[in-house]
Amino acid sequence: MSTLDRLTPGTWTFDPAHSEVGFVVRHAGISKVRGSFHDVTADFVVAEQVEDSSIDAVIKTASIDTGDESRDAHLRTADFFDVENKPEITFHSTSIQLGGGEGTITGELTINGVTRTVELDTEFNGVVVDAFETTRAGFEATTTISRKDFGLTWNAAIEAGGVLVSDKVVLNLDVAFTAPQA
């Protein structure tokens, strides 16, 4: 069953072992680089009325992984995430609208010390009790941001024209939460 009424009120905990917080950015205008963050915490506080619920998440920028250690090391520098001085990306929801299991989660996303309002197109994938009797809820969400809007402006011109890293970044979330303990 995938209806929202299966979400028990209380604080649901992010399940990092069954979640991915990822992104896609175009590289050199011809290919896409995909990456993810591995150190993420989040709480989904479910209210009696789902629209009164809230989500708060913290992503440790040092946990970035694009599958290329040299690129990841560059992304951790002041050219991009400046993990020494700005170690976290945060998200705090301001509105949850999931009629029929699909909708929008709006919130304040802070990257590089800059906060912007974003809308996540969200799909509720349902609630299940797994083989270990843990109740889990799953969601998929996506949004597109401008990295320049968050002060992430480093780039390099390429000989054929254009730049090395596109401004547009697609954020993809495929996340699971575990139910509050009784």
Ramachandran sector of residue 25 (left: φ over 0; alpha: ψ -120 to 50; beta: rest):
beta
The token duo for 62 is 């040092």
Q: What is the pLDDT of residues 51-69, one digit of tens each?
A: 899 999 999 999 999 999 9
Tell me the CA end-to-end span of the chain in Å, nearest whole number.
21
Q: What is the pLDDT of residues 1-56, one digit of tens each?
A: 345 677 889 999 999 999 999 999 988 777 899 999 999 999 999 998 888 999 99
- Identify how many contiguous H helices and E strands the chain contains and give both numbers: 1, 11
Q: Which CATH superfamily is domain 3-178 in?
A: Lipid/polyisoprenoid-binding, YceI-like (2.40.128.110)
Ramachandran sector of residue 162 (left: φ over 0; alpha: ψ -120 to 50; beta: rest):
left
Provide the whole-model pTM. Answer: 0.91
